[in-house]
A and B are shown apart, each in its own frame.
Chain A
Amino acid sequence: DAKTTQPNSMESNEEEPVHLPCNHSTISGTDYIHWYRQLPSQGPEYVIHGLTSNVNNRMASLAIAEDRKSSTLILHRATLRDAAVYYCILRRRQGGSEKLVFGKGTKLTVNP
């Protein structure tokens, strides 16, 4: 199964940018890189995803390395509401269907 590696925890100050890294050295050519986050006492929520090119949406930006073996989720201005566990996930197709493999996630703490 494809695996991702993330730091266990990171800390940021409010209104500063945050760069959350993810390594996925075993990524295959058709794997999409997805990011979800989980706030306390809630299910995960979708943040962003990409294949090869960098992506932007209203929540965050995703920077993907040229060799696709790593990616970085960028929160441009962290708020207290961004404190959550962030999961970097490879969406892999196996046998015509898909099995999500979650990493351990990075717990982001945002200081006021």
Chain B
Amino acid sequence: KAGVTQTPRYLIKTRGQQVTLSCSPISGHRSVSWYQQTPGQGLQFLFEYFSETQRNKGNFPGRFSGRQFSNSRSEMNVSTLELGDSALYLCASSLRPNEKLFFGSGTQLSVL
């Protein structure tokens, strides 16, 4: 069974641009959550989706948004990029909410 797939693996953007990251969960998993990882702040929860509905959201500005499609695939979008948005963005899937998480390898975003 394939694991969680995140694309792209690396991304370079400039300030003010927007970016869309993609996550394909493990087949059969319906819950997807997103995390931001930086050296200073560590791993921080962004949001969680289940059955195309956002169930929970972390303490991030409205520039960070996401969605989940009917096939459980998820995307997150960051608009008006800032230098501080440079981070590793991780996606995790689980069969249902509150169950064991399976993480992807992440998308490394660099904002110049």
Contact = CB atoms under 8 A, between A and B. Distances in A.
A21 interface: no
B43 A87 contact: yes
A104 B42 contact: yes
A92 to B, nearest CB: 10
A98 B101 contact: no
Q: From DSSP, what is the main secondary structure of chain B's interface residues?
A: strand
A87 B37 CA distance: 13
B77 interface: no
B90 A98 contact: no
A42 B98 CA distance: 22
Given A44-B90, A87-B43, A98 B98 contact: yes
Contacts of B100: 46, 49
Given A44-B43, A100-B33, A36 B98 contact: no
A105 B42 contact: yes
Interface residues of B, number: 22
B56 A99 contact: yes
Interface residues of A, number: 22
Contacts of A97: 48, 55-56, 97
A87 B90 CA distance: 15
A55 interface: no
Given A36-B101, A45-B103, A93-B98, A101 B45 contact: yes
Given A102-B43, A105-B42, A44 B58 contact: no
Interface string A21-50: 000000000000000100001111110010
Interface string A86-112: 010001011101111111110000000
20 contacts: A43-B90, A43-B92, A43-B104, A43-B105, A44-B43, A44-B90, A44-B101, A45-B103, A97-B56, A97-B97, A98-B48, A99-B48, A100-B33, A100-B35, A100-B45, A102-B42, A102-B44, A102-B45, A104-B42, A105-B42
